[in-house]
Amino acid sequence: MQRRGQPSLPVLTLTLTLLMGGAITAVAQSREQIEYWRTGYQELKPTDDPRAAKAHMIFQKLVQVAGRRAGMQPRLFIVASDPWDIALPIALPNGWIILSRGALDICYQDPKRGDDRLAFILAHEVAHQLKDDFWHIRFFQALEATKARNPVSQELLEEMRRTASAPEQVLARELQADEQGIIYASMAGFNPHAIVTADNSVNFFADWLRALDPRRVSGMPVGQLRPTPQERAEALRAHLRRVVDKTARFQAGLWFYYAGDYVQAIHAFEDFRAFFPSREVSHNLAVSHHQLALQAYQTWKKNTPVVPFQLSLAIDPLTRASRIAFEGPKRGGTATSTDPAGLFRQHLDEAIALYSEALTYDATYTPATLNLGCALLVRGLHTTITGLTADFSAARTTFLRALEQDQHRHSPEMLNNLGVAEFYDERPRQAKKYLDRARQLAPTYAAPIFNLGHIAHIEQREADAQRYWRDYQTLIPQAAPAAPASGQAPENVMGLTVGRVIDHKLTSWGTLIHSTFEVDKKTWTMTTYPTGIMTLSRDGEILMIMVQDGYKEASARGITLGSREQDVLARYGAPSRRLEMTQGYNWGYDAHRIAFQLRDGRVISWLVF
């Protein structure tokens, strides 16, 4: 008997069908497999539609943020038509997400919001996959089989009954996927306000429903659908404020990291981790502890390098940010403890534990693999406890396991670090083999050349060592740091300078988005302007200014977005600090109070501090 206030099975079926996130599903067992879609539908390739190229790029950004389940490789397949005449995204249990052309049409009806809306659509499906949540596929399988009088397993029948009798659980799953999806999209750098806004001027759920052909709802009054677009938007709107502020805290953690204020970075990342544990948060916490360990080591051992080789150590930026130098007592990054040796080991052990935690979210996550191996090598080199030199073998195993994966086989950074691990594990021939391969794959990558030279020096092959050293020198910028000209005005961004108090005049630039949060008992505000600018302020005073996509002006010395790294060297000289990142590299100039973020030899953003 149907309970009062509960939709009948047909109503529930229609409701599930129209839910945006993974609502439409194949009814035959074969449709859970990608082969069904490849053979039954024409693929919309990136060469056929530029929106398809964007979709694949957006999907990869989301996967980088969200991670993956063990044994599952997330992939995207776009069909050139709408199956069952319905625009859909659909998640398959084997890791594939199916997207149709109709979904692209709906997302890009408003071109300015198209990328952000598509990111949310895909992120919602990724959330279902990570939860191993494919109830909709099994439900419709059982329902269709029942209609066709086909045999149905008792398990599927029971699941269909549970789903039909507890629609509130179904709706809770969809709303949860909405909330997770908006987090993934925000962390990947997309604007959540393209989905809903606080003033209700934007409601993408309603836009989506209006875009569907009314004939597809089989005569069912739209008012009977639950949750309604308004209810769904209201639930997400209530969650959105918290999400935006929390992701701003994550971004601030990155900025503190770039500033060298690793203690504040840890506070920010730990707070975000409590809200949304993920591989990136664990990884960036680990890197912050790793850097504190290196600081303590420099206090402990003074000018002795922690490792005589060059290793790739990176932080995952995730959002558009650049390395900064922050004026404060910890600027320069030196530890002040009376027991720097103890601090070194404490932070290094914490870093190793957190890198390992990040890899539990995604065993294929390259940054955590690279850095975990580096930390193990450092601990193996500087431990005084007998038996812990097994860290060398553990580092080697870590790199070899990653190298077995397809996406890492041609990673020069992985090969470089593996070469160093092989050397410390007393396999010099294998070490040189991997370093040579890294050099061949990336001729402009300096680290393996330096490392080959160091091995040659250890092996007393001085002629080879000198040759490697000369090759290494040609790859390292040699320009001397350029001091600011006498009387030159400080760097500014459209008149904004560090130290300025935010005033009402800035509202003339358009709608501002403010996110206020607390880190270490201090209140910070991150503000996004529609001119390609972000600021971080405290008590109304601007402390950092980030230039990003959309900014049209130049720096004080004529650098613009897209400028070549040679131009930066010519105008600003050699950077005082360099930082490798998973999505590029950063050059910091303390004398000029500016840091540039570069990728593929081009400036993609900069920060004034």
User: CB of 334 within 8 A of CB of 299?
Assistant: yes
Distance between CA atoms of residues 269 and 274, nearest Å: 9
Q: Identify which of 172, 104, 161, 143 has the alpha carbon closest to the alpha carbon of residue 25.
A: 143
Confidence check: pLDDT of 102 > 80: yes
The reply to whether omega before 227 is within 30° of 0 (cis) is yes
User: CB of 110 within 8 A of CB of 70?
Assistant: no
- Coil, helix or strand for 284? helix
Confidence check: pLDDT of 45 > 90: yes
Instruction: Report pLDDT for 70.
Output: 65
Q: What is the mean pLDDT of residues 125-133?
A: 82
Taking residue 103's Cβ as centre, other Cβ atoms within 10 Å add up to 27
Confidence check: pLDDT of 223 > 80: no
DSSP for 204-269 reads HHHHHHHHS-GGGGTT--GGG-SS-HHHHHHHHHHHHHHHHHHHHHHHHHHHHHHHT-HHHHHHHH
Instruction: Report pLDDT for 469.
Output: 94
Distance between CA atoms of residues 250 and 264, nearest Å: 11
> Regarding beta strands 96-100 and 75-79, do their DSSP bridges make them parallel or antiparallel, or are they unpaired?
parallel
User: CB of 182 within 8 A of CB of 243?
Assistant: yes
- Coil, helix or strand for 444? coil
Distance between CA atoms of residues 306 and 410, nearest Å: 27
User: CB of 293 within 8 A of CB of 285?
Assistant: no
Tell me the percentage of the chain whose pLDDT exceeds 70: 72
Distance between CA atoms of residues 314 and 293, nearest Å: 15
Structure-block tokens of residue 537: 């302020």
Q: What is the mean pLDDT of residues 155-182?
A: 64
DSSP for 493-551 reads BTTB-TTPBP-GGGGGGS--EEEEEEETTEEEEEEEETTTEEEEEETTEEEEEEE-TT-
- Taking only the tens place, the pLDDT of each residue in 554-598 is 999 999 999 999 999 999 998 877 766 666 787 888 789 898 989
Distance between CA atoms of residues 437 and 544, nearest Å: 41
For 471, counting Cβ atoms within 10 Å of its Cβ (0-12 exposed, 13-18 middle, 19+ buried), the class is: middle
DSSP for 464-497 reads HHHHHHHHHHHHS--PPPPPPPTTPPPP-BTTB-
Q: Higher pLDDT residue, 86 or 426?
A: 426
- Taking only the tens place, the pLDDT of each residue in 177-187 is 887 888 888 77
Q: State the pLDDT confidence band at 72, using cuts at 50, 70 and 90.
A: confident
Q: Higher pLDDT residue, 270 or 88?
A: 270
CA 20 vs CA 65, 182, 354, 498, 501: distances in Å? 21, 14, 36, 44, 44
User: Residue 206: CB partners within 8 Å, gap ≥ 6?
Assistant: 229, 230, 233
User: Residue 64: CB partners within 8 Å, gap ≥ 6?
Assistant: 188, 316, 318
Q: Higher pLDDT residue, 276 or 607?
A: 607
Q: State the pLDDT confidence band at 171, using cuts at 50, 70 and 90.
A: low
Confidence check: pLDDT of 214 > 60: no
Distance between CA atoms of residues 216 and 82, nearest Å: 12
- Taking only the tens place, the pLDDT of each residue in 370-424 is 999 999 999 999 875 544 578 999 999 999 998 887 555 678 989 999 999 999 9
Distance between CA atoms of residues 375 and 311, nearest Å: 10
Distance between CA atoms of residues 240 and 450, nearest Å: 48
Residue with tokens 């504190």: 292
Confidence check: pLDDT of 220 > 70: no
Q: Identify which of 342, 265, 328, 351 has the alpha carbon closest to the alpha carbon of residue 297.
A: 342
User: CB of 609 within 8 A of CB of 593?
Assistant: yes
Please state which of the ranges 69-78, 127-136, 237-246, 598-607 shows the lowest mean pLDDT: 237-246
Instruction: Report pLDDT for 326.
Output: 21
Please state which of the ranges 283-287, 424-428, 589-593 shows the lowest mean pLDDT: 589-593
- Out of 363-372, 449-458, 574-583, give the one with best mean pLDDT: 449-458
- Taking only the tens place, the pLDDT of each residue in 17-31 is 333 333 333 344 457
Q: State the pLDDT confidence band at 306, using cuts at 50, 70 and 90.
A: confident
422-425: long-range pairs with CB below 8 Å, 24+: 422/396, 423/309, 423/455, 424/377, 424/380, 424/381, 424/392, 424/395, 425/392, 425/393, 425/395, 425/396
- Coil, helix or strand for 411? coil
DSSP for 355-397 reads HHHHHHH-TT-HHHHHHHHHHHHHHHHH--STTTTHHHHHHHH
Tell me the percentage of the chain whose pLDDT exceeds 90: 33
Question: Chain-wide mean pLDDT for the chain?
Answer: 77
User: CB of 366 within 8 A of CB of 408?
Assistant: yes
Instruction: Report pLDDT for 342.
Output: 92
- Coil, helix or strand for 605? strand
Instruction: Report pLDDT for 397.
Output: 94
Confidence check: pLDDT of 494 > 80: yes
- Out of 120-129, 143-152, 412-421, give the one with best mean pLDDT: 412-421
Distance of CA 449 to the CA centre of its chain: 30
Beta bridge partners of 519: 522
Q: State the pLDDT confidence band at 49, using cuts at 50, 70 and 90.
A: very high
Q: What is the mean pLDDT of residues 188-207?
A: 75
Taken in order of first residue, the domains within the chain and their CATH numbers are 9-243 (no CATH), 258-475 (1.25.40.10), 504-608 (no CATH)
Please report how many Cα atoms fall inside a 13 Å half-sphere around the Cα of residue 398, on the Cβ side.
Answer: 28
Structure-block tokens of residue 118: 């598509």
Confidence check: pLDDT of 175 > 70: yes
Q: State the pLDDT confidence band at 176, using cuts at 50, 70 and 90.
A: confident
Taking residue 160's Cβ as centre, other Cβ atoms within 10 Å add up to 21
Residue with tokens 């997770």: 180
